[in-house]
Structure 1
Amino acid sequence: MYEGEWKRGKASGKGKFSWPSGATYEGEFKSGRMEGFGTFVGSDGDTYRGAWISDRKQGFGQKRYANGDLYEGWWKRNVQDGHGRYVWRNGNEYVGEWKNGVINGKGALVWANGNRYEGQWENGVPKGHGVMKIQHRLLWGENLNGARKRSSVDGRGSVNEKSFPRICIWESEGEAGDITCDIIDNVEASMFYRDGTTSDCEDSRRKSPCCFSTEVKRPGETISKGHKNYDLMLNLQLGIRYSVGKEASTLRELKQTDFDPKEKFWTRFPPEGSKITPPHQSVEFRWKDYCPVVFRHLRKLFQVDPADYMLAICGDDALRELSSPGKSGSIFYLTQDDRFMIKTVKKSEVKVLIRMLRSYYQHVSRYENSFVTKFYGVHCVKPIGGQKIRFIVMGNLFCSEYPIHRRFDLKGSSHGRTTDKPEEDIDETTTLKDLDLNFVFRVQRNWFQELIKQIELDCEFLEAEKIMDYSLLVGIHFRDDTPCDKMGLSPFLLRTGNRDSYQNEKLMRGYRFLEAELQDRDRVKSGRKSLIRLGANMPARAERVARRSDFDQYTTAGISHLTPYRCGETYDVILYFGIIDILQDYDISKKLEHAYKSLQVDPTSISAVDPKLYSKRFRDFVGRIFIEER
């Protein structure tokens, strides 16, 4: 039975159709067929809400199954096809590609207990290369045939609740073939050069909370219902899920027009849903994508899998809101897996990024080890009756299996470059500044040369784009067996020693560096990704020096030598660093700031200087805090 609008004797417009079985459809019709947006409730209790074409589910839609399962994503001819997210009633979740109604292509399966498989799928089972991150260790059989593989991926099997997180990297020859599985601890995976063995790392983990600790304070406040920015978080997640999901088609070549500042698209998200957007519990909002094809290419260039990206930002886990470490007033959001950072930005910053996007793309394509921020997307949310909120999605430099004990935001200037927190309030989440820095970092010769060369290239790029006021963000993990609560601003009663002990230490240090590189090289030869790279997981020695604020001696360029007083204390560290805040050009506001502050302090000591001087000062400063190990 049909009730609704008609046109030329056929159901057209909005209406409702009921079948004798009890099934119903309510929504849009065209020429007597279900077409447009509508809700179908089956006689078995399944409910589909989404797009239709010629009586078939086609486009974006959400289906809730009677057994409690949920699928939301793209459909084609009544079956799942394209990007989609399936949540089982037991809490397991898959995000990735589908074909003809089955899991097929790249995707990530996450069990309710935290175990996670990422890789290629074919006809519903893993095939080819994949990585399984195991939070609770699964017991693997002696021989893993095709049936065993399926049961493993379904999450069945014994679980050891007390096991440490592990990573299983496998290669499969197909249904009838064997699986090659190499299981390593996350701690061991993050840094091989400790000593090259698992057992010693287990010992060091027991005696030193600084080797690996799950108790290190995580920055940020989880955004739950009732939080003032809860609706904004939902809008971000809905928008990104829509943007990534609709890109399931084959990636085409970039065109000149893809970089056009006018290449942006608005999409309306009503609470009741539309032909292309799902229903939601938030207020109605509009969503804008800037240069979406370019950022899709960038995500591929940076090896970010679409399913992984969507799951991290749009999964069931809420984002964490961070307090802004700077003066910009921006809000920062961090995904629960720490991989991605979302930052609200000003309109002027979006304009700068879009203006230099072509040059940025060329630079990061040419120099894969570039230190400049990795950008994954630029978007805008506008709630009905509200203001536009623009934000960028970027990589988090401090995504690491190891806790970051100290973090510094370094510009190479001195005026106002110290933390405003009292020493007793400083912890591992505090971002310290130039005058708080009391280390120089010694790195192996090959790494040092690569580092300085890349800094030069990145600064040349930023100078050419007339960018200034950027920073080198540095994160330090101390590998020495010192309790984490002594890693404050004045820690370090570790090693001073005599000359003989220093020589022995130097030999051992060289052995550890060599061990690290050899094992990392073996990983690359075996076809696996290198763990040690420029700016991430880098082995180094931190040598303590007097803080700049302690002696306040500056060169004519406003830069400290950082060498008037050395304590002789050194620490084995792991470094993470990159260049951030690259969206400030030398505009009229910065020129006025420079003129005003120059009347009060040394003009070379302030951050607001022209891009050419800023670039030179920044490079000189980096050359002073990083030293070649001899």
Structure 2
Amino acid sequence: MASPPASSNPLTVLAPKRKTKKKQFVQQKVEVFRASDSVLSALMWGVSHSMNDLSQVPVPVMLLPDDFRAYSKLKVNNHLFNKENLPGQFKFKEYCPQVFRNLRERFGIQEQDYQHIVTCHGSTLLPQFLAMYRITVDSEDTYLLVMRNIFSHRLHVHRKYDLKGSLVSREASFKEKEKELPTYKDVDFRNNMQKVYVSEEEKEKIMDKLNRDVEFLEHMRIMDYSLLLGIHDVERAEREEEKDMESSDDEEEDQSGPSPVSAFSSCGPSPEAIAGYMNSFKPMGLGEFDPYVDVYAIQSAVGASHREVYFIGIIDVLTQYDTKKKAAHAAKTVKHGAGAEISTVHPEQYARRFRDFITKIFA
């Protein structure tokens, strides 16, 4: 992919710095990024570097076509410096930096919080893509697409459904690790007599978002997407907390609870990331959440028979109805008959079936 002309891309003023094939490092005076995985550590380093570069570039008044073709590249040669934390050599490539910065702004994510399309400013169930990178370590490329998590960082999800609107028999995903939550399917949702207990007002808001999003996916000839539904059971969480409190009576006071830092132990955060987490933490009651953080979360209706919090978002939105899918549709139609329900259908039929099923999930 050719770089855009210098006159049309404000990021090119930094090009000499980013395209330097060899960089000299000096002793760092701050804590460096740490991660057990070399790709993850390179990503963390690259994101920090990218955010620093972007902070020095004015936000454009409007995005231009060249911004959707722009990218920045960086090659780092550490030799043996800091080898415990970063690969000796790696490459970092960021795609469309100004475009993704614009998306992050629309989704209400501040740049400092981000360190660790949609024109309706986040009022959507679609995935919120925040950035895209390529990390090259040991001559192996890894592509990473960063998106906002549908589930919460503090409210545990007790049940999880992947709903497509197809009642074709599909096994629930019990092949995952024992400690992971199984993903149930459409048939399980129906057989378990599961319902989503929200108010009529909330139901109207959800369906308004869903109809608008599905209309967009249908227009883009996308199919095979799902509604990811996570359910936090408030009463179950209360029982679990009471049990934890009873067991903690026998422990020392200094071991009464995990350190907030432990939430990041698997990826080794920077001190700034930890500070941002601490600043954003607010004491909340059971079943409470910050709607500006958990943008996919919805409370169950007041007085509902089930006290729950629902996390609802559309996922798997990258499958186009191409020649391969058309062939699969034709083959399954021949095998099962024209009147049989099959999973591979054209976008219009898929959208209609998806809408009909989701409409019926509410109590």
How far residue 272 of structure 1 moved from its aligned partner, in angstroms, is 4.0
- Does the CA contact (< 8 Å) of 1:270 and 1:279 recur in 2? no
Letter in 1 for 2:105: K
Secondary structure in 2 matching 1:247: helix
Partner of 1:238: 45
CA contact (8 A) 1:473 1:577 kept: yes
**Which residue is equivalent to 1:431?**
183
AA aligned to 2:349 is L
Q: How much is the aligned-residue C-alpha RMSD, in angstroms? A: 3.4
Higher RCO structure (Cα 8 Å, ≥6 apart): 2
1:588 partner amino acid: T
Q: In the alignment, what sits opposite 1:248?
A: 55
Of 72, 77, 81, which aligns to 1:265? Answer: 72
Which whole-Å deviations, capped at 9, do the CAs of 1:308-340 have from their partners, x for residues lacking one? 221x2xxxxxxxxxxxxxxxxxxxxxxxxxxxx
Helix, strand or coil for the counterpart of 1:254? coil
Question: In the alignment, which residue of structure 1 is the partner of 2:152?
Answer: 399
2:108 maps to which residue?
303
Distance 1:391-1:598 versus aligned 2 partners, 3 A rule: farther
1:610 is aligned to 2:346 = yes
Q: Distance in 1 between matches of 2:197 and 2:334?
A: 38
Q: Work out the CA distance in 2 between the residues paired with 1:405 and 1:576.
A: 11
477, 491, 499: which one pairs with 2:232?
477
Matched letter for residue 458 of structure 1? D
CA displacement, residues 521-557 of structure 1 (integer Å, 9 cap, x when unaligned): xxxxxxxx756987314224999xxxxxxxxxxxxxx
Tell me which of 283, 286, 299 is aligned to 1:538: 299
Map of 2:161 onto structure 1: 408
Contact 1:470 1:580 in 2 (8 A): yes
Structure 2 vs 1, CA of residues 532 and 453 (structure 1 numbering), >3 Å: closer, same or farther?
farther
**Contact (CA 8 Å) 2:151, 2:294: kept in 1 or not?**
no
Number of matched residues? 287
Measured in 2, the distance between the counterparts of 1:433 and 1:427 equals: 19
Select which of 582, 591, 608 maps to 2:317: 582
Relative distance call for 1:366 and 1:258 in structure 2 (3 A) is: farther
Task: Please report how far the alpha carbon of residue 607 of structure 1 lies from its aligned counterpart in structure 2 after TM superposition.
Answer: 3.0
Q: 1:443 aligns with which of 198, 212, 221?
A: 198
Aligned counterparts of 1:307 and 1:299: Cα–Cα separation in 2: 11
Kept in 1, the 8 Å contact 2:35–2:41? The answer is: no
| Larger proportion of helix | 2
Q: Secondary structure at the match of 1:366?
A: coil
Q: Deviations over 1:281-305 (max 9, x none)?
A: 3142222211110101111221222
- Give the TM-score taking structure 2 as reference length: 0.69
Contact 2:225 2:315 in 1 (8 A): yes
Indicate which of 597, 606, 628 corresponds to 2:332: 597
Tell me, what secondary structure is at the counterpart of 1:441? coil
Letter of the 1:234 counterpart: S
Determine if contact 1:532/1:538 at 8 Å carries over to the other structure.
Answer: no
Per-residue CA deviation, residues 147-183 of structure 1 (Å, 9 max, x unaligned), is: xxxxxxxxxxxxxxxxxxxxxxxxxxxxxxxxxxxxx
How is 1:504-519 mapped onto 2 (pairs within 5 angstroms)?
Answer: none
**Match for residue 270 of structure 2?**
none
Query: How does 1:312-331 map onto structure 2 within 5 Å?
Result: 312=116
Pick from 377, 383, 388 the counterpart of residue 131 of structure 2.
Answer: 377
Counterpart code for 1:405: H
Can you give the 5+ residue segments of structure 2 that lack an aligned partner in the other structure? 1-21, 241-289
List per-residue Cα deviations over 1:349-389 (Å, max 9, x = no partner): xxxxxxxxxxx1xxx22253210001001111223432x22
Q: Which has the larger radius of gyration?
A: 1
TM-score using structure 1 length: 0.41
Q: Distance in 1 between matches of 2:146 and 2:175?
A: 32
Distance 2:319 2:67 in 1: 20
Instruction: Classify 1:530/1:266 alpha carbon distance in 2 versus 1 (closer, same or farther; 3 Å).
Output: closer
Tell me the amino acid that sits aligned with residue 72 of structure 2.
F
Q: Distance in 2 between matches of 1:259 and 1:414?
A: 43
Task: Determine what percentage of the aligned residue pairs are the same residue.
Answer: 28
Q: Residue 286 in 1 paired to residue 91 in 2?
A: yes
* Contact 1:290/1:377, CA 8 A, preserved across alignment: yes
Q: Which amino acid in structure 2 is aligned with residue 589 of structure 1?
A: K
Change (3 A) 1:436 1:428: farther
**Residue matched to 1:63:** 28
Q: State how 1:315-354 maps to structure 2 within 5 Å.
A: none
CA contact (8 A) 2:79 2:88 kept: no
- The question of whether the paired residues in 2 share the 8 Å contact of 1:264 and 1:288 is answered with yes
Give, in angstroms, the shift of residue 403 of structure 1.
1.1
**For 1:252, what is the secondary structure of its paired residue?**
coil
Secondary structure of the residue aligned to 2:92 is strand
Counterpart CA distance in 1 for 2:222 and 2:355 is 14
- What letter matches 2:65 in structure 1? T
CA distance in 2, matches of 1:472, 1:37: 46
Alignment partners' CA distance in 2, 1:541 and 1:606 = 39
What's the counterpart of residue 142 of structure 1?
none
- Letter of the aligned partner of 2:235 in structure 1? D
The 8 Å contact of residues 382 and 389 in structure 1, kept in 2 or not, is answered as yes
For residues 210-235 of structure 1, what are the alpha-carbon distances to aligned partners after superposition, in whole Å with 9 as ceiling and x for unaligned?
xxxxxxxxxxxxx964xxxx112122
The runs of 5 or more residues in structure 1 that have no matched partner are 1-35, 40-48, 50-61, 65-69, 73-84, 86-222, 313-359, 485-528, 544-569
